[in-house]
């Protein structure tokens, strides 16, 4: 079933007590330990890349309009660069995707070209970012 980004964001922000929605936009769910990134408000379908990344593609032409990045707490937190980025309180979409890709490489070794290409496609398209603080990364 197709969803629109605006309906999804409205539901998520309503739960979080926020009202304004602008695109591109992002949201981190501590409960699900995932970040949602959205560029456009169109009906979309989910294109799962691997256990970490799902691309959201427009129904009309399959272009990327958003993404879900799972396992944020498992990102390489011992990396000084990642700690520095999170201290700012906001993580850009491209940075989040690069750290997710790096984690996958560490876990699985060499990734199939098709997987790397889809991460690369998302890196070139997704904008915005997610409010994310060090406390969000505490394992529960």
The pLDDT, as a whole number, for residue 43 is 93
Q: Is 86 domain-assigned?
A: yes
Read off the pLDDT of residues 74-91 as tens digits, 9 standing for 90 and up.
887 666 777 777 777 888
User: How many other CB atoms are found less than 10 A from the CB of residue 76?
Assistant: 13
Residue 18 has pLDDT above 60, yes or no: no
The pLDDT, as a whole number, for residue 25 is 85
Q: Is 74 domain-assigned?
A: yes
The CA distance from 58 to 75, in Å, is 28
Q: Is 140 domain-assigned?
A: no
Cis check for the bond before 117: say yes or no (omega within 30 of 0).
Answer: no
Read off the pLDDT of residues 20-43 as tens digits, 9 standing for 90 and up.
556 788 989 989 999 999 999 899
Residue 66 has pLDDT above 60, yes or no: yes
Q: Is 26 domain-assigned?
A: yes
């Amino acid at each position: 079933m197709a969803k629109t980004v605006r309906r999804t964001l409205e539901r998520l922000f309503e739960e979080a007590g926020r009202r304004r929605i602008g695109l591109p936009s992002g949201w981190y769910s501590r409960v699900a330990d995932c970040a949602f990134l959205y560029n456009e408000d169109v009906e979309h379908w989910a294109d799962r890349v691997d256990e970490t990344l799902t691309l959201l593609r427009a129904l009309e032409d399959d272009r990327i309009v958003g993404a879900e990045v799972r396992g944020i707490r498992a990102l390489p937190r011992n990396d000084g660069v990642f700690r520095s980025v999170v201290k700012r309180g906001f993580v850009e979409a491209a940075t989040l995707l690069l750290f997710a890709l790096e984690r996958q490489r560490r876990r699985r070794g060499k990734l199939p070209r098709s997987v790397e290409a889809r991460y690369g496609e998302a890196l070139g398209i997704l904008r915005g970012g997610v409010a994310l603080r060090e406390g969000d990364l505490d394992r529960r």
